[in-house]
Amino acid sequence: MKKGALIGCGFFAQNHLHAWKDIEDAEIVALCDRDERRLTETARLFGIDRTYVEAAAMLEAETLDFVDIATTVRTHRPLVEIAAASRVNIICQKPFAETMDDARAMVRAAQDAGVALMVHENFRWQSAIRAAKAEIDKGSIGTPFWGRVSFRSAYDVYSGQPYLATDEKFIIQDLGIHILDIARFLFGDVSTISASTRRVSPNIRAEDVATMMLVHEGGVTSIVDCSYATSLPRENFPETLLEIDGSDGTLRLDAGYRLTLCNALGTTERDVSPPLLPWAERPWHNIQESVLNIERHFVDCLAGGLAPETSGADNLKTLALVYAAYASAADGSRTIAMRNLA
Ligand code: NAD
Ligand code: 89V
């Protein structure tokens, strides 16, 4: 049994805690939050009686196999560094860091301490995305040469996460980071990126629309597009849609989790909806299931001594795309070479 502690008992951490309850080989034995009201309420809801307002005090007092850091980005580096200094394995929420220097320092701290570090980059763990990847890997559409990874919505994300309306950067750093990571997962690492951004809503500080073009090292060209300013007849939040063209066929993941394959064998359509876990609620059930999947992956990696798919070192490449996209957009959609940026 792996013993863990969770730091940050806010909006999204509630999903982490529900998912941990579903994992037999792991148990959250302690909680930490600087906000005593949130800490007490979360401890009561999940029946966890060891609570701390200071992460350092918790790491000192508890014997842990891992910490799960679910705070917002500004606190990630200091928390990762004190966890590494305590020789505890680490999961850290996305966005991993506000700068590449911070992210690299966190990867180094974990490496020097000999502990595992996984970024909680969960979107690639959604079952619909895994189903699409399995088809690519099976060769169902031959060799992919073009893709579109798309997230367009008008869902009110600001009520649950008010900081999204006031942070200096918004859609690429918060959501595009997931969609860029899916593009890497499906098509491999990236040679060049160009991007344009726009703020449509007058009520927020930063960009709520971004369109990015990626050329992947293996030769695929992909479009990664995100919007929180798109009112559709059917609200698709939080679905990521896919269009992938290959040498021997096409794959589409359309709204409503419909996966369509078209190849020499004909056209087939199937439902790849995520399960509705007992503690989940629509429309978030897709993301909530991916939290369970990534936590389970982390525990399996600890047990097997393996590096997680989205290790800190791996996530440097996703994070580098985020900051390159901002640089490109600021510079009138200049094409940026990714070599040496991670
Ligand atoms: P939140 O503000 O609701 O919660 C953060 C909590 O951390 C707060 O309760 C705060 O008091 C606590 N905290 C901050 N600094 C602390 C410290 N040094 N020690 C202890 N506690 C501290 O934020 P949220 O909306 O839950 O987001 C948290 C993170 O999760 C963000 O990085 C966000 O981007 C990410 N997130 C990820 C997903 C996903 O699908 N992967 C979804 C939503 C949010
Ligand atoms: O995943 C996230 O970080 C969330 C959301 C899906 C709403 O963008 O902020």
Q: What DSSP letter does each residue of 262-331 carry, written as one string?
A: EETTEEEEEE-PPP--TT--TTTHHHHHHHHHHHHHHHHHHHHT---TTBHHHHHHHHHHHHHHHHHHHT
Residue nearest to atom 9 of ligand 2 (CA): 174
Q: From CA 171, how far away is CA 209, in angstroms rounded? A: 7
Distance of CA 8 from the midpoint of ligand 1 (Å): 6
pLDDT at position 33, please? 98
* Structural domain boundaries in the chain: 2-115, 126-281+317-337
pLDDT at position 336, please? 98
pLDDT at position 173, please? 98
pLDDT at position 150, please? 98
Whether ligand 1 lies within 6 angstroms of the CB of 34 is answered as yes
pLDDT at position 238, please? 98
pLDDT at position 102, please? 98
Q: Is CATH 3.30.360.10 the classification given to domain 126-281+317-337?
A: yes
pLDDT at position 278, please? 98
Whether ligand 1 lies within 6 angstroms of the CB of 333 is answered as no
Mutate to test the pocket of ligand 2, among 178, 180, 322 (most ligand atoms within 8 A of CB): 178
Question: What are 68-94's pLDDT values in tens digits?
Answer: 999 999 999 999 999 999 999 999 999
Q: How far apart are the first and last CA of the chain?
A: 35
Q: From CA 88, how far away is CA 102, in angstroms rounded? A: 19
Ligand 2 atom closest to residue 238's alpha carbon, by position in its atom list: 6
Ligand 2 atom closest to residue 155's alpha carbon, by position in its atom list: 7
Residue nearest to atom 3 of ligand 2 (CA): 174
Mutate to test the pocket of ligand 1, among 7, 9, 11, 167 (most ligand atoms within 8 A of CB): 11
Mutate to test the pocket of ligand 2, among 285, 287, 315 (most ligand atoms within 8 A of CB): 287
pLDDT at position 327, please? 98
pLDDT at position 303, please? 96
Adjacent-strand bridge partners of 243: 148, 252
Whether ligand 1 lies within 6 angstroms of the CB of 183 is answered as no
Regions of the chain short of the pLDDT cut 50 = none
CATH code linked to domain 2-115: 3.40.50.720
Distance of CA 12 from the midpoint of ligand 2 (Å): 9
Residue nearest to atom 14 of ligand 1 (CA): 71
Distance of CA 170 from the midpoint of ligand 2 (Å): 10
Q: What DSSP letter does each residue of 180-216 carry, written as one string?
A: HHHHHHHH--EEEEEEEEE---TTSSS-SEEEEEEEE
Whether ligand 1 lies within 6 angstroms of the CB of 11 is answered as yes
Contact between 50 and 102 under an 8 Å Cβ cutoff? The reply is no
Whether ligand 1 lies within 6 angstroms of the CB of 329 is answered as no
Whether ligand 1 lies within 6 angstroms of the CB of 176 is answered as no
pLDDT at position 106, please? 98
